[in-house]
A and B are shown apart, each in its own frame.
Chain A
Amino acid sequence: MPDPVSGAGAYVAAAYIVFVTLIVVYVAIIGTKVARIERELESLARLVEEPEP
């Protein structure tokens, strides 16, 4: 295989990198969403365990 970093190889790499980046960014977004869910769940749990005023 010719030097992969120049010429055609660079383009192929770029295309696959775009693909992987999209997926990773997407997962990161879902990750932040899940983190937010976790925090919300925690605060709700505290609300439930609050002693009667």
Chain B
Amino acid sequence: MLESLQHLAAGFGVAMTLQNLFYCLVGATVGTLVGVLPGLGPIAGIALLIPVTFGLNSTSAIIMLAGIYYGAMYGGSTTSILINVPGETASVMTCIDGYQMAQKGKAGKALAICAIGSFIAGTIGIFGLVFLAPPLAEAALAFGPAEYFSLMVFGFIVLSNVTGASFLKSLMMAVIGLIIGTIGLDPVTGDGRFAFDSPSLLGGIEFVAVAIGLFGIGEVLVNAARPAELLEQKVVVPHLRELYPSLADLKESISAILRGTGIGFGAGLIPGPAPVIATYASYMVERKISKHPEEFGKGAIKGVAGPESANNAACQSAFIPLFAIGIPFAPPTAILLGALLIHGVTPGPMMITEHPALFWGVIASMYIGNLILLLLNLPFVPFFANILRIPKKVLLPLVMLFCLTGMYTVNNSMFDIWVMILFGALGFLARKWAYEAAPLLLALVLGPKLEVAFRQSLMISHGSFDVFVNRPISLAFLVATALFLLIPLATMFRGRVRIREAAGKGEG
């Protein structure tokens, strides 16, 4: 434990250099902006800024990109409170009581409690990261290809289970993502697959193009589909002096903040869109244990403090599986995995020993980033609120231009732009038919890893599938997967029985 603290101190040394402080500030600011702007979430935001990091060293690059991720969580809450529109999905729960508080003239208080809660959660989350990641990485050293395969399968099943309206639809999206991931060179033999003699296809599908397409352009198109008169918003801009919560508010919220932190931290460790699950769970818990549950939905400060702390803690702990095992459990960390690979760093058990400056530097930067966000968000809230006044019919073309330019800069490739537009259109259609895009993106990034793990396991076992159940850790993941598979089946079956019973009663 003492060793971890020493490493962390060294990490602060890395993060406190002028250059890294600057990129931390840039990341946090851009993150807040993409969180505030509807139509751009953390996934598209990180993907768009990857090319900007090409000239940087890997530590500065990841410091900046990680800043976008947790910065977006702060920004997303601003729009929830001020205009009742979640800037990204993790802020949906904040809309409920946050907007009600704004309606009662307490927008400043709501924003401040968000920032303070997020800061406390972020701080505790980072200590969790410091103490949990190294032992987990050590444990992951025992993982062979079979364990990795089973863990990834577990991840896909859980993510598909918790996202979207239909489990089968999400699972189909994951398989489609895996198939798209096989385009290009076979990771084992080096043969071309599905390339149709095109050199561009032989290079594989650029995951940045898919990410910007599905989550950037897809979102822009969804917004563009709404008739023009619906594109305008009314914005409440709070005054600076309203931004400081009273001691009584803080006292009331602190327990919710701590509970939210615990829930969020746990959610980040398991597969799935951690911040979304964490905010939902935290809100439900707060309402359940409150002495005044009737206040929830009418501007309860705990309904803002809990979920907002939860999503920040989840953001921090989501880095644990990424850094320690090398397997991201949700799209934002999957994009970060892609960025790490571009910079020649393979996250996983060896990363902490091979790239200590990067690992501890990024963790320390998250702490500094949280502080920056606290300082940035409170006084600049009126500025961010004013950004919301830009009409959507101006904002959407701007976002579009930025996506197009950003995509071109990744590889200077026209082919990538076409891929991005295609996935933009697909993202729009997926949204319309309620197919969840997140499993597709995660599968695309993890696909080659999954395939290599699958083939290596079977090579070791001489073609026998026993290898997946004979090894205890792998078996444990598969048993957990089976349990998660049974849940949707059971609910489906129960629903059918209920309907049949109802129909039976109707006939009787």
Chains A and B are bound partners: no
- Residue numbers of A with Cβ under 8 A of B are none
- Residue numbers of B with Cβ under 8 A of A are none
